[in-house]
Structure 1
Amino acid sequence: MSGAIPYLPRGVRRHFDRVRGRAVLLGPERALMLDPIGDAILGELDGSRSEAQIAAGLAERYGAPVEAVQSDVHEFLSGLAEKRLVEMKQP
């Protein structure tokens, strides 16, 4: 688990696609359909909280084990970072 602070870079945003009836992540020349878990994780990105803080908050909200949520959050955000749809800044 990283102490890095994830955020959406310039040109990337969450959007609700009314045609498809679901959340999407829009980036330059691409769109990624989000499931409810991905949308919940991205909804927590505020540019001030670390991955660990985000995972702890989601675990508390949904009554899930922190370890499982930390793993899911890290895997999801790392995948988006590889695609340059999320950036990480060091505290």
Structure 2
Amino acid sequence: MRSTRLMEIADDAARPRLAPHVRMRFDAARGQYALLSPETIWVLNDTGVAIVELCDARRTIAEIQVELGSRYDEIAEGDVRRFVADLVAKHGMEIDHG
């Protein structure tokens, strides 16, 4: 099943979004953002926050990669895909096809 998800994400037209049961929240006590689901908490770094903010089911993987590439020099070509693929595999994100 993971390979199917990776193939979906490999498609430049894939449009990622948070799964309906997942929310991004800022934890003021810890000073960091996290994704919250009923069973899991994912702590995000600054790049992870930027990726999640752009995963709105309107932007494609390719558009997200270009946007982040203009913001951060250190974003490698596959970083967005790997991040999204990991969250899809853990049921934290879903993929829409445009």
TM bracket (short chain): 0.7 to 0.9
**Over 3 Å off, 4+ runs:** none
Equivalent position of 1:83 in the other structure: 90
Give, in angstroms, the shift of residue 13 of structure 1: 1.0
Give, in angstroms, the shift of residue 61 of structure 1: 2.2
Equivalent position of 2:7 in the other structure: none
Gaps spanning 5+ residues in structure 2: where?
Answer: 1-9
Secondary structure in 2 matching 1:5: strand
| Aligned-pair Cα RMSD in Å | 1.5
What is the alpha-carbon distance in structure 2 between the residues aligned to residue 34 and residue 65 of structure 1?
17
1:39-68, Cα deviation, whole Å (9 max, x unpaired) = 111011121011110010111122x277x2
1:1-91 matches, cutoff 5 A? 1-2=10-11, 3-62=13-72, 64=73, 68=76, 70-91=77-98
Gaps spanning 5+ residues in structure 1: where?
Answer: none
Give, in angstroms, the shift of residue 28 of structure 1: 1.9
In terms of mean alpha carbon deviation, does 75-84 or 12-21 score higher?
Answer: 12-21
Secondary structure in 1 matching 2:19: coil
Q: TM-score, normalised by structure 2?
A: 0.82
What is the alpha-carbon distance in structure 2 between the residues aligned to residue 7 and residue 89 of structure 1?
8
In terms of mean alpha carbon deviation, does 11-20 or 76-85 score higher?
Answer: 11-20
